[in-house]
Amino acid sequence: MLRLEDVHTYYGNIHALRGVSLEVEEGEIVCLIGANGAGKSTTLMTISGVLRPARGRVLFGDEEIQEVRPDAIVARGICQVPEGRRIFPRLTVRENLEMGAFLRHDHRAVEAGLERVFTLFPVLRERVSQLGGTLSGGEQQMLAIARALMASPRLLLLDEPSLGLAPLMVQQIYAIIREINAAGTTIFLVEQNAHMALRVARRGYVMETGQVVLADRAPALLENEMVRKVYLGEV
Amino acid sequence: MSRALRPLAYGVWAALLALPLMGPLRAALLGGVVLVMTLAFLGARALSRRPLGSALRQQAAGLGRAIRQQAAAIPRPLLAGLVGAGLLLFPHVASRYHIDVATLVGIYVVLALGLNVVVGLAGLLDLGYVAFYAVGAYAFAILGTRAEVSFWAALPIGAILAAIFGILLGIPVLRLRGDYLAIVTLGFGEMIRITLNNWDAFTNGPNGILNIPRPSVLGFALRDPMYHYYLILGLGLFTVWVIGRLNNSWVGRAWIAMREDELAAEAMGINVMRMKLLAFAMGATWAGFAGVFFASKQTFISPESFTFFESVIILSMVVFGGMGSIPGVILGAAILVILPEVMREFAFYRMLLFGGAMVLMMVLRPQGLLPNPRRKVELHPGEERLGAAA
């Protein structure tokens, strides 16, 4: 469904991605783990079109999308939940969700989408007319994911969904990620919380200084000695 | 600093500030006035904290609520009818001077509403807005005196030209934000003014352009100020209508999202670049309309009418009234035009008082007179959270 082939991306002079290749198949949950500054978020930004790669190809289905504008990529069915949630703090929960459906003009489909995310996140229904900025961190993360779902993407990109959340909330968020995947949305997620991500994902990639250094099925990565040492903090 | 010394400090500060401008005697007097006023203000505040004062305040709040309820009870069509009738009848009861001031208010309402699109809705700080006003005015001045283009034909031409200039400004600043954007727009405004000032062959330089035709209907020139009043009233209402619609459309939504968080807006599939250009173009359009009207009303324009100070005043109207709020911006424009007129009797001190009023206003009510509800939250986040918890 999604394939990156030898992608190089620069931030000004910084060579952030040094030839990344990876693949996400339809229906999978795939995770990308790695330390701070390894290039995980850059990878997501390159996929969603905010950054343009200097070299290499990004394929969605059979089409190259590395030159496509970010809004057109959303229209094709890739939606990103950015790092740090970035909900609209001064819009209500409902308005936030409606912004997610910005590109959809079928009113009834949008209403159905609202119902769907309210079923997934009942707490958002309770908070529907509250301003986004007044939600707790966990609720904001739920809102961010729900907002992305409103675009009814085929591929959902999640950047650090567990960032800054209490352990119990992390469990809850990951349970919902599983549920979204079971309902048919492919998920590619980036995490520092390697343990949680690898337990939910089917496959995983490990990134270091702009390159993929390891790729395997998630359970195998959980057993991998290097991963255990560096990312799971075991000795 | 001790609390008791504060009024004294304010008085000395005001006196020192005014010293070079007014000389020692008047400066001392002003310092004294500030001292007394500060004392009075602090006294009143202390009083309002005590039971008696807070009871008074509650009464006042209750009264305010009652008035608002009464106002809400008046059917909206009736209210609109009353306001409309007032606006229509105004020039028949007012003096020529008052009609002129009202017309000026109208021009600034259109300008401020246009700038409000850029600053209030899209969140792009534009310090060179007057450039588009100048484009509209010069478009008609040149076309009207040299090509005999009529006022009515010039209105859309001026607006479209201004919109094109808006896009020309927009393209290089697409990736700029905040302070950087403000500085580039400031430079752009000055560039336009200096070009108008120096391009003698085309704009007649600092001498300006004379004998710009009046608006006319069926060959009759509309000379009476009353007609100008009605024209700008119509233009103002049209502006309010279009911007009100825009505000609630998907375009308005996209602007608000962009202002809140550009990256998140992009992730929602909003074409941020296009929306920014649209905001600059839409904002400039109204300045173009106002410029054509201004040129035709004055029959004479020169680059002097389009200085940086004008941009600042228009921006002040938007901030003063309440960014992003249409009634607020209208009120802001009206007050900032009328206030200096009312203060004419203070002659020498007029602009000083005007400046003082603005400082006071921004300290006491930073969200503007009639704030947009969202802006209020930004400036008083604590209250909102309390409200949510209650």
- With contacts defined as CB-CB under 8 Å, which chain B residues touch A148? 267
A152-201 pLDDT tens trace? 999 999 999 998 899 999 999 999 999 999 999 999 999 988 889 999 99
Q: Are B169 and B181 in contact (CB under 8 A)?
A: no
Residue with tokens 């991605």, as numbered in its chain: A17
Q: Are A206 and A49 in contact (CB under 8 A)?
A: no
Which domains does chain A possess? Answer: 26-50+68-230 (3.40.50.300)
Give me the domain span that covers residue B89.
Answer: 75-380
- Number of helices and strands (H, E) in chain A? 10, 10
Query: How many folded domains does chain B comprise?
Result: 2
Element (H, E) at A31: strand A29-34
Q: State residue B60's pLDDT score.
A: 65
Contact B260 A89 (CB under 8 A): yes
For B251, name the nearest residue in chain A, comparing CA atoms only. A102
Question: What are B's interface residues with A at a Cβ cutoff of 8 A?
Answer: 250, 253-254, 256-257, 260-261, 263-272, 374, 377-378, 381, 384-385, 388
Contact A99 B384 (CB under 8 A): no
B213 in the same domain as B91? yes
Q: State residue B78's pLDDT score.
A: 84
Query: Hey, what long-range contacts does B182-185 have (CB within 8 A, 24 or more apart)?
Result: B182/B125, B182/B126, B182/B127, B183/B127, B185/B125, B185/B126, B185/B127, B185/B128, B185/B129
- With contacts defined as CB-CB under 8 Å, which chain A residues touch B263? 50, 82, 86
Dihedral of the CA atoms B176, B180, B185, B186 (nearest 10)?
A: 180
B84 in the same domain as B29? no
B213 in the same domain as B99? yes
CA angle (B378, B250, B377) in 5-degree steps: 10
In a domain, B326, yes or no: yes
In a domain, B389, yes or no: no
For B378, name the nearest residue in chain A, comparing CA atoms only. A90
> What SS3 state is found at B167?
helix
In a domain, B334, yes or no: yes
Of B41, B72, B103, the one marking the end of a domain is B72
Of B47, B72, B97, the one marking the end of a domain is B72
In a domain, B190, yes or no: yes
Q: State residue A19's pLDDT score.
A: 93
B363 in the same domain as B264? yes
Element (H, E) at A156: strand A155-159
Whether pLDDT at B352 is above 80: no
pTM over 0.90: no
B68 in the same domain as B80? no
B215-252 pLDDT tens trace? 888 878 888 889 999 999 999 999 999 999 998 888 99
What CATH number does residue B218 fall under?
A: 1.10.3470
Q: State residue B384's pLDDT score.
A: 40
Task: Please classify residue B3 by burial: count the beta carbons closer than 10 Å to its beta carbon, then call 0-12 exposed, 13-18 middle and 19+ buried.
Answer: exposed
Q: State residue B373's pLDDT score.
A: 66
In a domain, B272, yes or no: yes
CB contacts < 8 A (A, B): 74
B23 in the same domain as B92? no
In a domain, B238, yes or no: yes
Share of chain A above pLDDT 90, in %: 79
Extract the tokens encoding A36.
Answer: 């701070």
> What SS3 state is found at A46?
helix
Of B16, B51, B72, the one marking the end of a domain is B72
Whether pLDDT at B381 is above 70: no
Q: State residue B54's pLDDT score.
A: 61
Chain centroid offset of residue B304 CA: 19
Task: For residue A234, give how far its alpha carbon lies from the nearest alpha carbon of chain B (Å).
Answer: 36
Q: Are B318 and B89 in contact (CB under 8 A)?
A: no
Question: At B272, which amino acid appears?
Answer: V
Whether pLDDT at B196 is above 90: yes
B105 in the same domain as B46? no
- With contacts defined as CB-CB under 8 Å, which chain B residues touch A131? 377, 384, 388
CB contact A74 to B (< 8 Å): yes
Please report the DSSP string for A160-196 in residue order.
-TTTT--HHHHHHHHHHHHHHHHTT-EEEEEES-HHH
Share of chain B above pLDDT 70, in %: 89
Whether pLDDT at B342 is above 90: no
B142 in the same domain as B14? no
- With contacts defined as CB-CB under 8 Å, which chain A residues touch B271? 69, 71
Q: State residue B51's pLDDT score.
A: 62
Q: How far is CA B97 from CA B1, B33, B94, B226, in A?
A: 49, 32, 8, 11
Mean pLDDT of B185-202: 92
Per-residue pLDDT of chain A (235 residues; tens, 9 = 90+): 999 999 999 988 899 999 999 999 999 999 999 988 899 999 999 999 999 999 999 999 999 999 999 999 999 999 999 988 899 998 899 999 999 999 888 888 899 999 999 999 999 999 999 999 999 999 999 999 999 999 999 999 999 999 889 999 999 999 999 999 999 999 999 998 888 999 999 999 999 999 999 999 999 999 988 888 887 776 5
B21 in the same domain as B65? yes
Strands A78-81 and A155-159: parallel
B268-312 pLDDT tens trace? 999 999 999 999 999 999 999 999 999 999 999 999 999 998 999
Angle of helix B76-93 relative to helix B225-247, nearest 10 degrees, comes to 150
List strand residue ranges (DSSP E) for chain B, in order.
Answer: 216-217, 220-221
Rounded to whole angstroms, the Cα distance separating B117 from B255 reads 9
In a domain, B388, yes or no: no
In a domain, B390, yes or no: no
B121 in the same domain as B188? yes
B70-126 pLDDT tens trace? 767 777 788 888 888 888 888 888 889 999 999 999 999 999 999 999 998 998 999
B106 in the same domain as B27? no
Element (H, E) at B97: helix B96-116
B81 in the same domain as B68? no
Out of A87, A99, A133, closest to residue B253 by CB: A99
Q: State residue A202's pLDDT score.
A: 95
Rounded to whole angstroms, the Cα distance separating A95 from B219 reads 52
Extract the tokens encoding A125.
Answer: 């229904």
